[in-house]
Structure formats: C-alpha cells, structure tokens
Amino acid sequence: MINTKFNSKDKITESPNEDAFAFTRENYKWVLIGLAFIFIGFILMIGGGSNNPDVFGSGIFSFSRWTVAPLLVLAGYVIEVYAIMKKSKV
C-alpha cells in the first residue's frame, strides 16, 4: 500500500511504503551467489602442506592457490557489494 500526501498545489505525491523490506528475493539470490564464490575461493586456498616438516612441498605455490582462489574471493566481495546496492524495480 502506498501512502499518499497532498502538497501545496493539491497534487498527489507518493511516498515509499515504510513496511517494505530493503532487500528483495533477487538481492538475497545475489548474496548467496557471492557467498558461494567466497567459500569456494577459501576452499581452494586450503592445503599444500607436507606431512614431513623436513621436506618442502612445492604444492603451496600452485596456480589455483595463488591466482584463482584470490580472484574468486575478490569476485565474491564485488558480488556482495552489488547485492547490497542493487535497488528493486518496484
């Protein structure tokens, strides 16, 4: 329901509904997508260690840990900002 007010020239102006939520279903969809990107990025950063402390494991310097995972996390944060700032079409 839209609240209506009259201004000094007797034109009807519409004010936003105070009962409406700030986020819509689409905003929450984008929030979940962003969280998935962040989660997958952090999962890709896990590992690369060695069971024996005297042996150096070069797996810690893999392409997925140094390039793909941080890009996924960064993309997830960008998606989160988009999800928060996106306005509904109503």
Check whether 90 has a pLDDT greater than 90: no
Q: Residue 55: inside a domain, yes or no?
A: yes
Q: Residue 50: inside a domain, yes or no?
A: yes
pLDDT of residue 22: 83
Q: What percent of the chain has pLDDT over 90?
A: 49
pTM (2 d.p.): 0.71
Helices (H) and strands (E) in the chain, counts: 3, 2
Q: Work out how many domains the chain is built from and give that number.
A: 1
Q: Which residue is it, tokens 């999800």?
A: 83
Q: How far apart are CA 26 and CA 49, in angstroms?
A: 40
Q: Residue 59: inside a domain, yes or no?
A: yes
Q: Residue 9: inside a domain, yes or no?
A: no
Range of the domain at 76: 21-85
